[in-house]
Structure 1
Amino acid sequence: MSHLPPLSLYIHVPWCVRKCPYCDFNSHQADRFEENGQLPEQAYLDQLLADLDVDLAYVAGRPIQTAFIGGGTPSLMSADFYYQLFDALREKLDWVDGAEITMEANPGTFEQEKFAHFRKAGVNRLSIGIQSFQPNLLKTLGRIHNREEAIQAVDKSRLAGFDNINLDLMHGLPDQSLEMALEDLQLAIDLNPEHLSWYQLTIEPNTEFYRRPPTLPEDNTLWNIQDAGLELLEKNGYHQYEISANAKQNRQAQHNLNYWRFGDYIGIGAGAHGKITLANGEIFRTRKTRHPNHYLNNLPEALSIKEAINVEDLPLEFMMNRLRLFEAFSLKDYEIYAYRTVPTQLFEACQRAVSLELLDKERFDEGIICTTEKGKLFLNELLELFINE
C-alpha cells in the first residue's frame, strides 16, 4: 500500500449553556466550570495543543483534509480562543488548499455576534443547531433560542461571510404531527442552506428523556414524516447522500464523507475519539477522557488511550461506515481506507448479500458495491453478513 487514508481533525468543546434532555454527547453545563463568569479557555487551549502533539507523533507530515469543531457548544468560546487555536493549528499542521473547516453553533444572539470572528479565524462552514422552529417543541427539547433567533442566525452567518451552512433539524419529536414536521422542514428549506441534517429523535441512555420518556409519534406517523420529508427535500434540490444528511449539488459535508468512508481522523478534546492508520498497517482508535476537569489535569492517561482494531473486524467496521452512505463504491476502496488487500471474507460476504438481493448483482459483477432498495430497508441484516465468526 502506497497511500494512507485521508486525514481529518476533530476538536471537541465540552461545554454548553444547558444540557438538553435528548443529548447523549459529552457536554457539561458551562456555569459549573466557570470562575468569575469565565470558562477556563486558556487552560483548555493549552491542553488541546498538548493533546494534538501526542497524536502528531502518529501522523507526522500527513495533511489535514477537513476539520470539525463539535460539542457541547463550540460557539460559547471567545473569538480570541479561536484566533489563538487556529494560529497554533496552522503552525503544527499541514492543510490541503481549501480545507473544509466546520464549527457547530447555536442560534442564540450571544453566539451570533461572534460569527464574523469565527470566519476570520479560519472557520469556513457553519453548522447551526436549530432542531425546530416551533416554540412548544423548542421548550420540550430544552433549547434556549426561539424561532426568530434561528432565522436571524442564518442571516447573520451570511453577513459574516459564510457561503457553506448546514442546519440541524429533528423530526419525530414529542407529539409532533406530519404537518408540524413538514412545516419545520419547509422553513429550513426556505432559509436556503447548502446542507440539511434532518434526523429522527431517538431516546438514548443516560439522557433525561430516557429517564422520563416523552410521548413520541406512532410508527405510522414516523414513517409518513420520513417519506414525505425526503420527498420534499428532493423536490427542493436537497439530495440524500447519507442516512440523515441531504445536500445541494456538490455540497456534501466533506468531513462526514471522510468519516463514513472509513478515513482517518485525529480527535482532540475532552471525550474526543480518533482513528489512525500507521504505515506498518496497524489501525487503532483513540479516545480522550470525558470529564473536562480530568482532561484539564494533564494526566497522561487522558491523552493516550489507544485501542487496536483487530484485522478480522475490519470488514465489518469498514462496511458499517460505508453503507451509511448512499454512494456506490468500489471494493478497491477497502485497499485505500482499510490499508490492506480485500480479504476473502469480505468478498464472500458481498456474494452472499448479492444472492439475498441486498446488493446489486450487475454492479457487483463490475466490482462496485451498490445497496438495493431492499438492502437499504434491511441494513442490519446486510451488516450481519460481514461479522467475523
Structure 2
Amino acid sequence: MSNTVKKISIPVISVLLGVIVGTIIMLVTGYSPVDAYTALWNGAFGEVYFTGEVVRQVTPLILAGLAVAFAFRTGLFNIGVEGQLIVGWTAAVWVGVAFDLPKVIHLPLAVLAAAAAGALWAFVPGFLKARFRVHEVIVSIMMNYIALHVTNYMIRNVITDKADRTENVFPSATLRSDFLASITDHSRLHWGILIALLCVFIMWFILEKTTKGYELKAVGFSQQASQYAGMNVNRNIILSMVISGIFAGLAGAMEGLGTFEYASIKGGFTGVGFDGIAVALLGANGPIGIVLASILFGFLKVGALNMPLEAGVPNEMVDIIIALIVFFVASSYMIRLFLEKISKNKSKKGEK
C-alpha cells in the first residue's frame, strides 16, 4: 500500500470509526442514530440558510487549521492559534470602528491589522524558541491567556468607554455582502471564504514552490542538518511562527469583520483556534485536507444545533463524535499498523 493511499485512508477511517462509536453511544443511551444523523444533515443542508452558515463556519476553521499546519510542517507546534485569533479579531474591529474610510482602503487595512496582530503574537514564542530554546508549546499556551485578558482590557478601556462590546464596524470595513445574504436566505455568509481559499493556495505555494518553503521544511526535519547546509535556523523558526500567526490573525478577522462585526468581552476562549488543531490533524497538515476537514467540522457544528429540536438528541453528542474522530486520528499509528497488516496478507496471498 502506497504512502499516499495510507495518508488518505487514515483520516477517512478515523471519521468512520468516530461515527460508528458515536452511533453505539447513542444506542446505549437510548437515542435513535437514524433520527440524530437525519437531523444533523437537515440542520446543515436542509435549507439554503443552513448551508450558508456551514460555509461561514468553515471559513475561520480553514485559516486556524492552516495556522497549526504551517507551523507543524516546519517542525513547530503552534498551540497558541486561539490567542493569535483573539488579538487578530480585536485589531480588525478596532480599525473597523476607529476609521471611516473608503471600502477599498478600509477593509484591506482592517484585514491587514488582524494579520499583523496575529503575527506579532506568534513572534514572541518564535523568538523565544529561536533565541533561548524555550519550548513553543509552553509559551504559546500562556500567550493564549494573555491575549484573552489583554484584549478584554483593550475593549473595555481603550476601544470603548467601559462598555462590554464595541460598536459594529463601519460598513466600509465589513466582509458581509447583500448578494451572499440574498442567495442564502440572509445567512451570515461573507466574502471571507475567498480569503481563506486564497490562503490555502498561498500555504501550498510557499511550502511546495519556493526556496524559502524548502528551507522552512528542512529546518523542521533537522535543525542540525539545515544549519550545516548554511541555513539560518533561528530566522526560519521565527518566520515560520510569524506566518502561522498571520493565518491565525486572519481567522480572527473573519469573525470580527464577517460573522459578528464587533468585538466583545470574552469570559473564555472562542474554541476556533483549538478546533484548528483538530482540523490540521484530520487534514494531515495538507492544504486540501484542511479544507475537507474544515467542511466536515463546519457541517457537524452547524448541523448539531438542529439535533435537539428535530430528534431530541443533545448537540453535545456531536462534540463526542468530534472528540472520537480526533482520538482515532491521534491513534493513527494503530490504524497504520492495521493497514500494513492487511497489505502484507494480500501480498502473501498473491505470492501463493
Same fold per superposition (TM over 0.5) = no
The TM tier, using the shorter chain, reads: under 0.3
TM-score, structure 1 as length reference: 0.23
The structure where helix makes up a greater share of residues is 2
TM-score, structure 2 as length reference: 0.24
